[in-house]
Structure 1
């Protein structure tokens, strides 16, 4: 803009000088010179004004010297000053798809972590970030991205594969967030949010996981079968011991007199229901009672 202003002023001077030499059309040349002069002055004025948008901070640089950061609003500056703007709104850094982070667990298994990091420039530290990187895009490429990748890999390396993709994901995400904030805060980068969205094992690791699951399931089935067989054997042992104890009790309680009385009671009941006559239980050599059926004739 400043160069344009200088060119327009030069054009105004030239038109004015040419107009002086031509009396007939002098007014036209002078009008052109005046318009060029006004346009040059306006261009020069705009070259000395810089507007910093809302949610931005500007870093002025004049002849290699970095000035104080410019907050949002209208600022007057030297026409030789360049202003580099940084957004103070949170910016999303998405580490997924082609940028997914490949990590290794403490066991050597390969995992792929999808992570989103929200970060923003701290306005008071914008000058320091300009010196470190030079632009907002460079801040992400040179500071946020490499530091975040390094921290993510280091955290996963302290955990097993199973913890990485399942049991300790929340803990790992919290560790990553704390370490990223701690690393970037002194540089003027405010990390507002870290989201460990997804962790998936590599193909080789997934095959190992499936094989381990199958082995665990087979072991559980074998353990359950062994437990069932042991319980059944114990049940049968207890049942057999109960039968044996009952038989011993019966054996001790069955004397000849008891058997004789039970025999009498049995034949009495039979005589009530049928026309039979029971000779009382004998004690002959066979111990067999004689039964006479009265319903039959000689």
Structure 2
């Protein structure tokens, strides 16, 4: 009877040790995660393998570091930028990124879990500062937003690829200039629009004047041709035709008495 407790205590210790060992060895990588294995006594970070979702058993002296490998989105406001003409510029960005899943081990070894603050944000800030500095305030305000967005995205992708981070896209949400500069640009644009409207109205008036001049010249030419073609004989024939038509009218009482100086009949009547 005295031996049973002595045997039971070591057994209980062994059972507890096995449970703890299994608990420390069992690792579950959840959906949307990837794992990096750190080997305490055999080389440190396993840079060649990325562990996928599911249940994994590792030695209790090793550890599994989990990374989220889904697309991640962060909004940033950069307020230390200058245009090429030295004006302060603020830019609101939306950044989508994720770690390169096949290189999680290398990312962990060279950068670590805080890779966004250590690599992504500094890269975006540096590239944005360089590109913004190539444009004037007016260009930034008006027509260069899409161009700037593409340039920032393309250059930052290259910079982050070499540190095992995938940049999905960069969206320039807003480019903000000092209020006085914005007002001056708006005023300039308004005046330019008014000038363009004035030019349009002037061109329209000039075209209408030219049209009327051509039309008047055409009428004058036609009258000259018509006058040259109307001989006395033709005029007499036309007069006779008109007289005959009047004589046929039911509402006209026509009396022909003699002739006028031109040889045409004189017409009297109540109409």
TM (normalized to structure 1)? Answer: 0.64
Can you list the C-alpha shifts for 1:110-152, whole angstroms capped at 9, x where unaligned?
A: 35232222211445452x444544x41x211111111122223
**1:101 aligned residue:** 78
Q: What's 2:257 paired with?
A: 278
Contact conserved, 2:50 with 2:104, CA < 8 A, in 1? no
Structure with more helix by fraction? 1
Q: Which runs of 5+ in 1 are unaligned?
A: 1-25
Aligned to 2:99: 120
Larger Rg: 1
C-alpha distance in 2, partners of 1:113/1:176?
13
Correspondence for 1:12:
none
Q: Unpaired runs of 5+ in structure 2? A: none
Distance 1:177 1:292 in 2: 95
Please give the alpha-carbon distance, in whole angstroms, between the structure 2 residues aligned to 1:175 and 1:31: 74
Number of corresponding residues:
251
1:178 equivalent to 2:158? Answer no
Relative distance call for 1:239 and 1:108 in structure 2 (3 A) is farther
Instruction: Give the drift of 1:227.
Output: 1.9
Distance (Å, rounded) in 2 between the aligned partners of 1:247 and 1:176 = 71
The two structures have a TM-score, normalised by structure 2, of: 0.69
Instruction: Please name the residue that 2:193 is paired with.
Output: 217
Distance between the aligned counterparts of 1:89 and 1:294, measured in 2? 109
Query: Which whole-Å CA distance do the structure 2 matches of 1:212 and 1:254 have between them?
Result: 63
Greater RCO (Cα-Cα under 8 Å, separation 6 or more)? 2
